[in-house]
Amino acid sequence: MIVLEKRPQPSKAWSYATPLVAVLATMVFGGILFTILGKNPIEAIGTIFWEPLFGEFAFYYRPQLLVKGAPLVLIAIGLSLGFRAGIWNIGAEGQYIMGAIFGAGAGLAFYPIDAFYVFPIMVLAGAFGGWLWASIPAFLKVRFGTNEILVSLMLVYVAEQMLASVSLGLLKNPEGFGFPGSRNLQSYDAAHNAELISGSGMHWGVVTALIAVIFAYVLLNRHMLGFHIRLTGEAPRAAKFAGVNPARLILFCLGLSGALAGLAGMFEVSGPSGVVSIDFNVGYGFTAIIVAFLGRLHPVGILLAGGLMALTYIGGEIAQSQLGLPAAAIQVFQGMLLFFLLAFDLLTNYRIRAARSEVA
């Protein structure tokens, strides 16, 4: 008989090891999945994890890592602060969309003025859009005690409809021959979030993501507010006695995560994507949840996890075109990762022991 014994302190070693174990387990079970799909598992896993970094066309894929990783890291950093305090924003996808709509809207409002202030205004507008969208569940939770999980998620569907509405109406390209979608911001210099170093994939979103990592690290380790966030998550009662204001914490965590998701959306729409269109969002807001957990809600961990998840995105696309692996298989692969992570986390908090037969 095996019993679980709660550790007095979560194991440090296991808290570092579980993400690695989870990745390995995902590779094994992902390999089994790919075998069932009739693909060579070693080749498929190799294509996903090796090809983008060291393969023949790595020079093309490596910059893509930054492009795909930046929004994931940016969103996940914001989510992790809330998750630590038990505030569950799972509507980042909606905030990402609203950030893109507000950011692109602000930029297109200035079209075709070519001035230095256009891009900064777009950045502010994008952050504002995301903040606004996340503040709805925050306000409702503070004022009425409404569940923020359900409200933030419902707002994703609302945001998707908004996106459809503006791509067909308000932001539609007047010179687009009637096709849905906005003007391409890539061809509007003042609004274009171009690569800072050509061919590197490095754009303002990547810079912002790195700043967010540092900011979150300092906040959590060196600032009273960060301490309050951690305290609320780990010992809610102690937090109450320490004078933590829960309403302020909710407004801050949700608002900040919304603003970061909004920024991610804005940098995406003004850079790699370029166009506000119906299918603009691709699920970064949901994948970022996996990134946040995989990174153990720690800023540096999230940076690494974001890179890994970006790798599965790009590697998945390569496997799709080279091996004919279905896109959904990669989605399952990413979902599995979160599963194994949560499962192996048991070892961080509990010790597994063989039970001795004892007298009851």
Partner 1 sequence: MDLGEINPVLLVASLMVAATPLLLAAIGELVVEKAGVLNLGVEGMMIVGAISGFATSVETGSPWLGFLAAAVGGAVLSLLFVLLTQVALANQVASGLALTLFGLGFSALLGQGYVGVKPPSMGEIHIPVISDIPVIGPILFQHDPILYVGIALTAAVWAVLKYTRAGLVLRAVGENHDAAHALGYKVIKIRIMAIMFGGACAGLGGAYISLIRVPQWTEGMTAGVGWIALALVVFASWKPWRALLGAYLFGGITVLQLNLQAAGVAIPVEYLAMSPYIITILVLVILSADKSSAPASLGRIFHASH
- DSSP secondary structure string for all residues of 231-291: HHHH-HHHHHHTT--HHHHHHHHHHHHHHHHHHHHHHHHHTTS-S--TT---SHHHHHHHH
Q: In this chain, which of 29, 50, 215, 339 binds partner 1, going by CB under 8 A?
A: 339
Q: Which is nearer to partner 1, 6 or 12 (CB)?
A: 6
What is the distance between the alpha carbons of residues 209 and 232, in angstroms, rounded to a whole number?
25
Q: Choose which of 144, 197, 321, 354 interacts with partner 1 (CB under 8 A).
A: 144
Tokens 């096709």 correspond to 179
Residue 187 has, within 13 A of its CA and on its CB side, a CA count of 5
Q: Which of 240, 346, 353, 355 binds partner 1 (CB under 8 A)?
A: 346
Q: Which of 328, 356, 357, 359 binds partner 1 (CB under 8 A)?
A: 328
Q: Which is nearer to partner 1, 132 or 210 (CB)?
A: 132
Among 162, 210, 225, 304, binds partner 1 (CB under 8 A): 162
Does 4 sit near partner 1 (CB under 8 A)? yes
CB 251 within 8 A of CB 138: yes
Cα–Cα distance, 241 to 283 (Å, whole number): 39
Sketch the per residue contact string, 76 through 95, with partner 1: x for CB under 8 A, - otherwise.
------------x-x-----
Residue 49 binds partner 1 (CB under 8 A): no
Q: Which DSSP letter does residue 357 get?
A: P
Element (H, E) at 352: strand 350-354
Identify the residue among 151, 190, 216, 266 touching partner 1 (CB under 8 A): 151
Closest CB to partner 1 among residues 169, 174? 169
Among 25, 58, 140, 202, binds partner 1 (CB under 8 A): 140
- Helices 327-344 and 299-323: crossing angle in degrees, nearest 10, is 150
**For partner 1, which residue of 149, 202, 210, 323 counts as binding (CB under 8 A)?**
149
**Beta carbon nearer to partner 1, 168 or 304:** 168
What gap in Å lies between CA 317 and CA 324, rounded to an integer?
Answer: 9
- Report residue 351: phi and psi, to 5°: -110, 135
- Does residue 6 bind partner 1 (CB under 8 A)? yes
Q: Which one of residues 289, 309, 314, 319 is an interface residue with partner 1 (CB under 8 A)?
A: 289
- Identity of the residue, 142 or 206, whose beta carbon is nearer to partner 1 in the bound complex: 142
Of 24, 42, 150, 242, the residue at the interface with partner 1 (CB under 8 A) is: 150
CA-CA distance, 253 to 334, in Å (whole number)?
26
336 binds partner 1 (CB under 8 A): yes
Closest CA to 47 of 286, 294, 302, 330: 330
Which residue lies nearer to partner 1 by CB, 64 or 349?
Answer: 349
Region binding partner 1 by CB under 8 A among candidate stretches 45-53, 124-132, 284-292, 303-311: 284-292
Alpha carbon distance 211, 91 (integer Å): 23
Side chain identity at residue 93, one-letter code:
E
Residues that bind partner 1 (CB under 8 A): 4, 6, 88, 90, 140, 144-147, 149-151, 153-158, 161-162, 164-165, 168-169, 286, 289-290, 293, 326-336, 338-339, 342-346, 349-350
